[in-house]
Amino acid sequence: MADDLPITRNAASPETAAAIRAAVRGAVRMGESRLAQPGDAAGLFALLSDPLVHAPIYSLPRPLTEASVAAFIDRHLAERAAGEGLLFVREGEGGQVMGYSDVQVWPDWGAGELGGALHPSLHGQGAGGRGAAASFAWMFEALGLGLLCETAALTNVATQRLLDGLGFRRMGETMSTRPDGTTRASLVWEMTRAEWAARHGFG
Ligand SMILES: CC(C)(COP(=O)(O)OP(=O)(O)OC[C@H]1O[C@@H](n2cnc3c(N)ncnc32)[C@H](O)[C@@H]1OP(=O)(O)O)[C@@H](O)C(=O)NCCC(=O)NCCS
């Protein structure tokens, strides 16, 4: 997360913020993905080790090791307990981790952000676009968020096309800070629940 996100800041009521935290604490699945557990460290590390997966993503641990991925999973379980974050993995046949989703939530702004990746064997076939759309709808509906705020590297054309195609509004640029303190310029998009409903509907 960047410190200056979300860009649009409408304070959620205390009741709404509490309901969002409760929904995050109670979440166990998002579509075909399940919560990442400590035992997923090796499988998730194997997915993330490919530069086609990790290079565009600023929020992943650096250095990337099985131990740092285990700590990444633990941190998300603590965020879930606080009602502020969720980490999901999607398994393929045989239990290989074929994708992950990182949900970060700002309950007091009623807002959230989705990050993630698919295994390179699945890239460029529409699975990312379909999965992201289902995940965004879930974040509005199951978590009760009113705003989604997304980022992508200036060079990440697939994610830019995906977000533009779903109707997210471009909000300019920000500087994203990696876990090792280095920074990366990011484009920013936002979409409100009302905008999502008007364009895609729910259910
Ligand atoms: C980003 C990612 C999830 C997208 O999933 P995907 O299944 O590859 O994407 P899709 O096939 O659904 O395509 C989405 C859009 O990107 C375009 N696209 C896909 N691969 C592309 C590529 N290599 N170069 C340019 N555009 C590309 C598609 O044409 C489509 O745009 P369109 O609807 O305007 O035609 C996936 O590529 C990935 O895991 N990348 C590595 C990690 C990452 O970048 N994560 C996102 C940042 S948090």
Q: Each residue of 5-38: pLDDT tens digit?
A: 999 999 999 999 999 999 999 999 999 999 999 9
Q: What share of the chain is helix, strand, coil (3-state, %, to 5)?
A: 45, 30, 30
Residue nearest to atom 26 of ligand 1 (CA): 158
In whole angstroms, give the CA distance from residue 21 to residue 12. Answer: 12
Question: Residue 104 CA to chain centroid, in angstroms?
Answer: 6
Amino acid, res. 95: G
Task: Write the pLDDT tens digit of every residue in 35-68.
Answer: 999 999 999 999 999 999 999 999 999 999 999 9
Mean residue pLDDT across the chain: 96
Confidence label for 177 from pLDDT (cuts 50, 70 and 90): very high
Q: Is the CB of 51 under 6 A from ligand 1?
A: no
Q: Which of 178, 124, 112, 177 is nearest to 150 (CA)?
A: 112
Q: What is the pLDDT of residue 202?
A: 85
Residue nearest to atom 21 of ligand 1 (CA): 158
Residue nearest to atom 40 of ligand 1 (CA): 117
In whole angstroms, give the CA distance from residue 6 to residue 110. Answer: 10
What distance, in Å, lies between the first and last C-alpha atoms of the chain? 29
Residue nearest to atom 18 of ligand 1 (CA): 158
Q: Is residue 26 within 8 Å of residue 146, measured between CB atoms? A: no
In whole angstroms, give the CA distance from residue 33 to residue 149. Answer: 21
Distance (angstroms) between ligand 1 centre and the Cα of 22 equals: 32
Distance (angstroms) between ligand 1 centre and the Cα of 123 equals: 6
In whole angstroms, give the CA distance from residue 55 to residue 21. Answer: 31
Domains present along the chain, CATH in parentheses? 14-146 (3.40.630.30)
Q: Residue 2 pLDDT > 90, yes or no?
A: no
E strands of 93-138, at which residues? 97-106, 111-118
In whole angstroms, give the CA distance from residue 136 to residue 124. Answer: 19
Task: Write the pLDDT tens digit of every residue in 55-113.
Answer: 999 999 999 999 999 999 999 999 999 999 999 999 998 999 999 999 999 999 999 99
Q: Is residue 186 within 8 Å of residue 139, measured between CB atoms? A: no
Q: 136: helix, coil or strand?
A: helix
The three-point CA angle 150-151-155 to 5° equals 145
Q: What is the pLDDT of residue 66?
A: 98
Q: Is the CB of 9 under 6 A from ligand 1?
A: no
Q: Is residue 80 within 8 Å of residue 20, measured between CB atoms? A: no
Q: Which residue has the tokens 């303190």?
A: 181
